[in-house]
């Protein structure tokens, strides 16, 4: 086993991840290694890679500072190997893994992320995660115009959009009624103007009814995915903002290609995400196959 690396494959509403236990912090996870693991042809395949590592062993000082509250750090990498602040669906899969492995035993506990400590709690058959406070990236433009960006999806005129920061960046597009959500081409990354300095996840949103939206998402560093947890929250926040009803306690149903998520706008300007998480396979991979 010393020459093999253990892994678990899991998903949250078909947003899938390779989880790698690094329980003593000795393994590490380079960008090249994460990209190989996430490769759907040459590697194991996933929208991202999650290293399970003690918070006190994290590379970043800002993460190690969370060790007094959170025993475990969700070291999340996008499919291209780039480090990401956090991942809403990933937090629930991470929580499911910690409980299954006995690394956490309570129904509520804290995990560390690059976007700060997050509280996860058991919610029936699902996990819910408090994503903390959100903010509008350009509140002046948002209050004045209702939008702060333009998004080009394929050919044709751009769509108006609102930028929402949930610890990671999102740009939410309000699709005109005449646009067919299913027909939009997301094989290429939408072009966002002004260009966000650290890239952005783009959500294309269509209201279904009161408190109910459907979306597709193109994730930064990945491409189109079957689901995005923080993107679902950003979609609910933006739609609430446009409706003039950012009410604490409001609940939203968000349908994504991979299933259904629940979003609740919580006290203090925060947001909570709930949904399923599934661990589907365990295995090992020879270390000799992995890049450095």
CATH of the domain at 9: 3.10.310.10
Model pLDDT, residue 247: 73
Mean pLDDT of 96-120: 98
List Cα–Cα distances, 236 to 17, 19, 121, 129, 250, in angstroms.
24, 28, 21, 15, 10
Task: Mark whether 233 is an active-site residue.
Answer: no
Distance separating alpha carbons of residues 114 and 169, to the nearest angstrom: 13
Same domain, 158 and 257: yes
Crossing angle of the two packed helices 88-100 and 229-243, in degrees rounded to 10:
140
Same domain, 180 and 257: yes
Same domain, 20 and 121: yes
Same domain, 64 and 192: no
Mean pLDDT of 58-74: 97
Mean pLDDT of 62-75: 98
Same domain, 38 and 88: yes
- Structural domain harbouring 60: 4-125+277-289
Same domain, 164 and 115: no
Catalytic residue among 50, 117, 151, 228: 228
Model pLDDT, residue 1: 52
pTM: 0.93
Same domain, 37 and 153: no
Same domain, 120 and 137: no
CA dihedral (257, 258, 264, 266) positive or negative: negative
Same domain, 144 and 250: yes
Task: Mark whether 87 is an active-site residue.
Answer: yes
Same domain, 166 and 254: yes
Is the pLDDT assigned to residue 52 strictly greater than 60? yes
List Cα–Cα distances, 31 to 14, 27, 110, 182, in angstroms.
23, 13, 26, 33
Model pLDDT, residue 217: 98
Instruction: Give the contacts of 220 (CB within 8 A, at least 6 positions apart).
Output: 78, 84, 168, 169, 199, 200, 201
Mean pLDDT of 266-273: 87
Catalytic residue among 49, 87, 93, 110: 87
Same domain, 140 and 265: yes
* Domain count across the chain: 2
Same domain, 120 and 193: no
């Amino acid at each position: 086993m010393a020459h093999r690396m253990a892994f678990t494959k899991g998903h949250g509403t078909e947003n899938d991840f390779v989880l790698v236990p690094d329980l003593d912090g000795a393994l590490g996870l380079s960008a090249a290694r994460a990209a190989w693991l996430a490769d759907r042809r040459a590697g194991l395949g996933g929208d991202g890679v999650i290293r399970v590592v003690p918070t006190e062993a994290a590379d970043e000082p800002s993460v190690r500072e969370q060790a007094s509250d959170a025993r475990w750090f969700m070291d999340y990498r996008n499919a291209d190997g780039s480090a990401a602040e956090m991942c809403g669906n990933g937090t629930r899969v991470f929580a499911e893994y910690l409980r299954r492995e006995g690394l956490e035993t309570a129904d509520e506990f804290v995990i560390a992320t690059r976007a700060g400590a997050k509280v996860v709690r058991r919610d029936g058959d699902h996990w819910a995660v408090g994503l903390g406070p959100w903010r509008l990236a350009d509140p002046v433009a948002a209050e004045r115009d209702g939008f702060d960006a333009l998004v080009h999806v394929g050919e044709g005129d751009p769509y108006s959009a609102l930028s929402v920061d949930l610890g990671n960046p999102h740009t939410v597009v309000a699709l005109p009624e005449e646009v067919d959500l299913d027909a939009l081409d997301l094989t290429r990354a939408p072009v966002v103007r002004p260009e966000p300095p650290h890239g952005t996840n783009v959500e294309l949103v269509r209201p279904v009814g009161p408190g109910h939206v459907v979306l597709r998402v193109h994730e930064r560093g990945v491409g189109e995915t079957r689901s995005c947890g923080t993107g679902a929250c950003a979609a609910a926040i933006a739609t609430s903002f446009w409706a003039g009803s950012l009410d604490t306690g409001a609940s939203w149903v968000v349908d994504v290609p991979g299933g259904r998520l629940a979003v609740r706008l919580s006290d203090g300007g925060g947001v909570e995400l709930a949904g399923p998480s599934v661990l589907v396979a365990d295995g090992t991979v020879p270390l000799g196959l992995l890049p450095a």
